[in-house]
Amino acid sequence: MYKEVQLVIQDQIAIITINRPKALNALNTDVFTDLIQLFGNDLPKQDLRGVIITGSGNKAFVAGADIKEFLTLDNDKAMALSQRGQDIFMTIENFHVPVVAAVNGFALGGGCELAMACHIRVAGRSAKFGQPEVNLGIIPGYGGTQRLAQLVGKGKAMELILTGDMIGSEEAERMGLVNKVCDDQDVLEETIKILNKICTKAPLAIRESISAINAGFNQDGFKAEVTSFGRLADSADFKEGALAFIEKRKPNWKGC
C-alpha cells in the first residue's frame, strides 16, 4: 500500500516507520507521498490515541533528504519542493492526536525537520541531530529555520544552522530540542509510555491544547523560508554543493 513507509496500529497507536535503511531512511518523493496519504487521508479515519514516527534499523531516524533528487531543481521546482515538505510537516504538527518522534541514530536535515514537526521527541543516546544544509549551499526548507528557533531559541538556532554542526542527544535535550533521552533499545518503549500517559487525559482537551500551542507561532517565516530555498536552488554554489556531496569531495564555493 505504501512504497517507503510501514504502518502498524496496535492499541490505537499508529507506528509509522520510514523504511529506506540502505539510504539511511533519507526523505525522497515516495516518502513524502506516503506521509501525505497517511496523515491526509488514512490515519484520520482510524480511532487513534497517538502516532509514533521512527526510522528502520538503528543507524538513522532520517539522515536527510535524497540529494540526488535536488540536482534538477531550479527556483520554481525548489519552491514547490519546499512548500510540499512544509505542507506535510505542518499537517503532522497540527494533527489532532499526539505525534511523537522515536529517534535512533541520525536525524539530520529533513530528518531533524521531521522530528521537530512532531509534538514530542524521544531520542536514544546514540542519536545525532543537525541542520547541515549550508554544507550543500542551501538552507533547511521544510520548516527547519522556524521550528529550530522556536524550540532552542534564536541564538542556538543561528549557531546550529550557520555552522551545520551535529549535536548528540544529551546536548539536544539540554537545549530543548529533545524531550527525553534513553538507552537506544528503550526508545520505542519510552515513546509508548509517554503516549499512554497522555491518553489518560481528556481527548478533546489534548486536541485543543495542540491547536492552541501551535496558534502562537507566526507563519510568515515559513513563507520566507520557501522563497530563500528557491532562490538558492538557482545558485552555482548549490549545484556545486550538491555535486560535491554526491562525489564525496569538498565544495569549491564561488559565492554566486
- Indicate the CATH number of 5-198 among 3.40.1390.30, 3.40.640.10, 3.90.226.10, 3.30.420.40: 3.90.226.10
Q: Which residue has the cell 535512533?
A: 104
Set 113, 173, 190, 225: catalytic member:
113
> Measured between alpha carbons, how far is 143 from 156 in angstroms, rounded to an integer?
16
Confidence class for position 185, pLDDT limits 50, 70, 90? very high
> Measured between alpha carbons, how far is 256 from 254 in angstroms, rounded to an integer?
6
- pTM attached to this predicted model: 0.94
Set 93, 133, 190, 225: catalytic member:
133
% the chain with pLDDT above 70: 100
Paired sense of beta strands 13-18 and 50-55, if any: parallel
% the chain with pLDDT above 90: 86
Residue type, 1: M
Active site annotation includes 133? yes
Map out the domains of the chain as residue ranges.
Answer: 5-198
User: Does residue 20 carry a pLDDT above 90?
Assistant: yes
Q: How does pLDDT run across 24-44, given as a tens digit for each residue?
A: 999 999 999 999 999 999 999
> Measured between alpha carbons, how far is 25 from 31 in angstroms, rounded to an integer?
9
Annotate 40-103 with DSSP letters as a single string: IIIGGGS--SEEEEEESSSSEEE--B-GGGGTT--HHHHHHHHHHHHHHHHHHHT-SS-EEEEE
